[in-house]
Amino acid sequence: MDVIKLFRVTRLPRLAGAATVVASAFVSAPAQPAFAEPCPDVEVVFARGTSEPPGVGMAGRAFVDALQAQVGNKSVAVYPVNYAASSDFGNRLDFVQSVVDGVKDSANHVQATAANCPNTRIVLGGYSQGAVVAGFTTANAVPTEIPADLAEYAWYAPKPMPPSVANHVAALVLFGKPSTEFMADIGAPPIAIGPAYVAKTIELCVPDDTICNGAPAGGPSFAHITYGSNGMADQAATFVVGRL
């Protein structure tokens, strides 16, 4: 269950600026083999939320189940983004590394799938901290709002994914994505979704979810942990099916 401790008010002094390093997280190392043939019709690449165990997490599982129920006879593969989803917010660099690793792994896997299975339709997704990972994975440029005191990390800023990769991505699904106001409150740039992905993106935010609804940064409301059961997974799946 993602309690997104990253955004607890008591942690903000440590995290102001730290989250900004996420802006340099678009690492695109050499692609790794995706999977053996036959290639699936659809592949979901999903990043779980903070502190959730390895896998796709509660929102991801609900979304995958809903998608599989709606795609008919199409085959659906699932790739859980391999990252820590760390809640060790007392260690600034460890937390930043968690998000950086998530963006690296997501981007690498998407590129590998596009290269090895060009007919597979890729669905990128994430919940909470995972939505940060998924959103930044699509960015077409490194945000410029990196504070001077963090300039030493600029060398770590990678190149975005090649523009051609967007042709292989059918949709981007974001559950409980931290709002622009929220990101600003913690000293981070807004989550950058690349122009080629904007029209194929669905953002799902429960009105009372204080992480995504524009409320000042602070602890999450109960609504933030309801994406696995509130019906929005079905809504997201319907959106995706219309774009496959």
Q: Which residues carry out catalysis?
A: 128, 209, 224
Tokens of 235: 């809504």
How far is the CA of 130 from the CAs of 82, 167, 185, in angstroms?
11, 22, 19
Going 149 to 153 to 159 to 161, the CA torsion angle's sign is negative
- Which residue intervals of 91-224 are DSSP H helices? 92-116, 129-137, 180-185, 195-198
**E runs forming strands in 21-112:** 42-47, 76-80
Q: Which residue's structure tokens are 């079905």?
A: 234
To 5 degrees, how large is the angle CA 129–CA 107–CA 72?
85
